[in-house]
Amino acid sequence: MDRYQQILNSVTEFAVIVTDRHGAITEWNTGAERILGWKADEVIGQSAELFFTPTDRERSQMRKEMDASLREGRGVDERWHLRADGTRFWASGEMMPLRDDAGGHTGFVKVLRDRTGQHLAGVRLEELQTQLQQAQEAGGVGLFTVEIASGMLTATEEFSRLYGLDHREARAARDFEALVVEDDRRLVSNDAGRRVGDAPRDVEYRIRRADTGESRWIARKGEFQPDAEGRPLRFVGIARDVTEQRSARDALARSEERYRALFEAVDDGFCIIEFFDGPHGPLSDYEHVEANAGYERHTGIPDIVGRTLRDLAPDEADGWIELYGGVLRTGEAIHFERDFPTAGRFIEVSAARVEPASRRQVLVLFRDITARKRAEAALRASEALVQENAQRVQLALAAGAIIGTWFWDIPADRFTVDEAFARSFGLDPALGRSGLSLEQVVATVHPDDREGLAEAISDAIARGGPYAHQYRVRRIDGQYYWLEANGRVDHAPDGTPLHFPGVLIDIEERRAVAGERDRAFAELKSLNETLEQRVAERSAELMQAEEALRQSQKMEAVGQLTGGLAHDFNNLLAGISGSLELMEARIAQGRVAELDRYIAAAGGAARRAAALTHRLLAFSRRQTLDPKPTDVNRLVAGMEELVRRTVGPQIALDTAAEPALWPTLVDPNQLENALLNLCINARDAMPDGGRLLIETTNRRLDQRSSTERDMVPGEYVVMAVSDNGTGMTPEVVER
């Protein structure tokens, strides 16, 4: 099988059936399976007549096609065929004989393409053309008679007009024949031939009109009238101008030729891509080895043959390679649609593997479906409008709101309306039945609504289809009422507007509701416009309340601070008074040798009181405290005696100091005060006595530990006070 036959087998748009000389099927391609519905193993060996209609079987149509293809080299036809499911489709077909190398006849090949959609459209077109042709024939057919003995021709005015001659002048037949172009004169009759009864009966030829020199095609049919002895006496017939028909036939023939020339001039985009191994890996790129003009037109890329994908579109290459590579790997054809916004078109893409797979080739077909997509969108919009109007009419029927119907014969400008319509428009019902003009009907429409109504009617007539419009009408009581007109304009096949039927719906109540809604919207708008001012006033009130709350919170904080200060000063005074009481006891006992120690303790407590006062002054002036390099172990040792005296003898005091404690930067007075506060709090938690432990340790905080404590990672000194007392109440913990 040569290369193009392999490609043809990959094109699923065509059914290719091969038979033997008697019509038995021997080959059945994938296109035949798709179009006709039978699998190859279901039909091999059967007569190809199985997909012909019963009527064609009775007429031996397949045998006629075989004979014609043997006689003329090919047989071309268009007809209905059958699918496996019994449905019919219109196909353009071509049958050709198959011969071996010696020229011997071995069988036939039948090629079919599904043309159902085009055929149905063509049938409609032919119907319109037939109507047009009948009208042309009624006024454009010329009659003629040639007297063979004299060679003179008598004709109707129309016949002479076809040739551009004056019909009032007597002329010989050769005067008309002289206007036939030289290449076609062999097709027409002449004096010598007519004498012996030799003239073509049905012929088409070209002429050059005598008046304008224009080239026209003439179709002529004629018959001989014999005399009593059977000799030719006259040659009579008709002629008509078929220039347009010939142009249409020629265009159709050229179109069919383009469809059959698959690789030369197919209208759809067509290309073959061949994968190869590239720098990106196996089968990572492909080259365009063949492409037609349609493909270049769809893609907008000229001279595409020989160019690689990664050269043309490197940013999109991976997606296309994955898509078409899947076709190459699996052998499964794909079909999809894609929107190309830059080109403003929708493209339908089909791709199939070219067999054998070792060729690494994929066939790609592009088809422009922009018109279809736009038609579908327009149809959806039209259907939505029709459905909306239908729903509105149904609602109106259900609510009893339809108050009249009309039918307008547009060409005659004749309105016929029912009695309810006439009453709604303040018209005489008798006139409504006999017919009114549009001007009479709209005379009662509110003057302010007439211009809009006229525009809506003109628009509906121009485009055809659904119509809906609202306007006011003066009824018999002289009052204006709101109505809605719903209808549809029907056009003739040539686009002429014919009929305009419709109904009237009472929407007075609906308009009243709409008015109430508009008033509500206006009130809401007014509220919205003053909302900012009212929000500002409310915000000011809230700010005043917040300021009062802050003042209250400040007073509460001052109260708490005052209580804390009193507590701290009581602790310091306890140290001072305790030392003084011990001094007093020693003096009373005459033991003055140890007074220095108590004097020093009282002095230390006094200094701490001074430091506390200093910190209060610093806080009031928003000044920072005074951190210094401090040996925390030495500070704890210096506080140990004061702590013992403060907590009392019923509490055992222990210390556990880190031998190599790091020096730290801290305000020593603040640290002493904090230590004393912790110890006094521990004493208060042990009213019946207990154990108090002061510890110092070194601690390194990593990222996790420091995050948990909301601190910066680094090296720290820890001073901890613990006791075995009752602990703190939740309220104390919260403070």
User: Are residues 574 and 501 both part of a single domain?
Assistant: no
Which long-range contacts does 593-597 make (Cβ < 8 Å, 24+ apart)?
Answer: 597/641
Tell how strand 232-241 and strand 215-226 pair up.
Answer: antiparallel
Task: Evaluate whether residue 406 is within a structural domain.
Answer: yes
Task: Evaluate whether residue 617 is within a structural domain.
Answer: yes
- pLDDT at res. 44: 94
Amino acid, res. 411: P
Q: Domain of 480? A: 385-506
Over 90: is that where the pLDDT of 623 sits?
Answer: no
- Count of CB atoms within 10 A of residue 448's CB? 10
- pLDDT at res. 133: 41
Average pLDDT over residues 58-67: 93
Say which CATH number the domain at 653 has.
3.30.565.10
Q: Which of 94, 75, 88 is nearest to 119 (CA)?
A: 88
Over 60: is that where the pLDDT of 360 sits?
Answer: yes
What is the rounded CA–CA span in Å between residue 295 and residue 268?
A: 7
Task: Evaluate whether residue 431 is within a structural domain.
Answer: yes
- pLDDT at res. 105: 92
Average pLDDT over residues 719-727: 88
Contact call for residues 476 and 423 (beta carbons, < 8 A)? yes
- pLDDT at res. 62: 92
- pLDDT at res. 676: 86
Say which CATH number the domain at 55 has.
3.30.450.20
The residues, any chain, with a CB within 8 Å of residue 60's CB and separated by 6 or more, are none
Q: Which of 144, 178, 176 is nearest to 163 (CA)?
A: 176
Task: Evaluate whether residue 380 is within a structural domain.
Answer: no
User: Are residues 397 and 467 both part of a single domain?
Assistant: yes
Amino acid, res. 401: A
Task: Evaluate whether residue 520 is within a structural domain.
Answer: no
| DSSP 8-state symbol, 520 | H
Which of 298-302, 579-583, 614-618, 713-717 bottoms out in mean pLDDT, i.e. has the lowest? 614-618
User: Are residues 205 and 194 both part of a single domain?
Assistant: yes
What is the rounded CA–CA span in Å between residue 665 and residue 626?
A: 10
User: Are residues 337 and 352 both part of a single domain?
Assistant: yes
Over 60: is that where the pLDDT of 299 sits?
Answer: yes
Which of 336, 368, 400 is at the close of a domain? 368
User: Are residues 447 and 561 both part of a single domain?
Assistant: no
User: Are residues 197 and 141 both part of a single domain?
Assistant: yes
User: Are residues 412 and 311 both part of a single domain?
Assistant: no
Share of the chain above pLDDT 90, in %: 25
Over 60: is that where the pLDDT of 132 sits?
Answer: no
What is the rounded CA–CA span in Å between residue 71 and residue 614?
A: 128
The residues, any chain, with a CB within 8 Å of residue 3's CB and separated by 6 or more, are none
Across-strand partners of 98?
Answer: 107
What is the rounded CA–CA span in Å between residue 546 and residue 712?
A: 35
| DSSP 8-state symbol, 466 | E
User: Are residues 140 and 109 both part of a single domain?
Assistant: no
- pLDDT at res. 727: 75
Here the tokens at position 341 are 């916004």
Q: Which of 452, 431, 445, 531 is nearest to 480 (CA)?
A: 445
Residue 398 confidence class, pLDDT cut points 50, 70, 90 = very low
Sign of CA dihedral 178, 184, 186, 187: negative
Tell how strand 628-630 and strand 480-491 pair up.
Answer: unpaired
Over 80: is that where the pLDDT of 94 sits?
Answer: yes
DSSP notation for 691-708:
EEEEEEEEEEE-HHHHHH
Amino acid, res. 58: E
Which of 310, 336, 368 is at the close of a domain? 368
Q: How many domains does the chain have?
A: 6
User: Are residues 90 and 71 both part of a single domain?
Assistant: yes
Contact call for residues 653 and 644 (beta carbons, < 8 A)? yes
Task: Evaluate whether residue 430 is within a structural domain.
Answer: yes
- pLDDT at res. 290: 87
Task: Evaluate whether residue 220 is within a structural domain.
Answer: yes
- Gyration radius of the chain over CA positions: 54
SS3 call for 408: strand
Which of 578, 606, 624 is at the close of a domain? 624
User: Are residues 135 and 108 both part of a single domain?
Assistant: no
Here the tokens at position 26 are 């021997």
Residue position matching structure tokens 């609510």: 399
Task: Evaluate whether residue 686 is within a structural domain.
Answer: yes
Which of 141-155, 477-491, 589-603 bottoms out in mean pLDDT, i.e. has the lowest? 589-603
Over 80: is that where the pLDDT of 660 sits?
Answer: yes
User: Are residues 127 and 244 both part of a single domain?
Assistant: yes
Which of 296-310, 525-539, 581-595 bottoms out in mean pLDDT, i.e. has the lowest? 525-539
**Is 0.85 topped by the overall pTM?**
no
User: Are residues 619 and 708 both part of a single domain?
Assistant: no
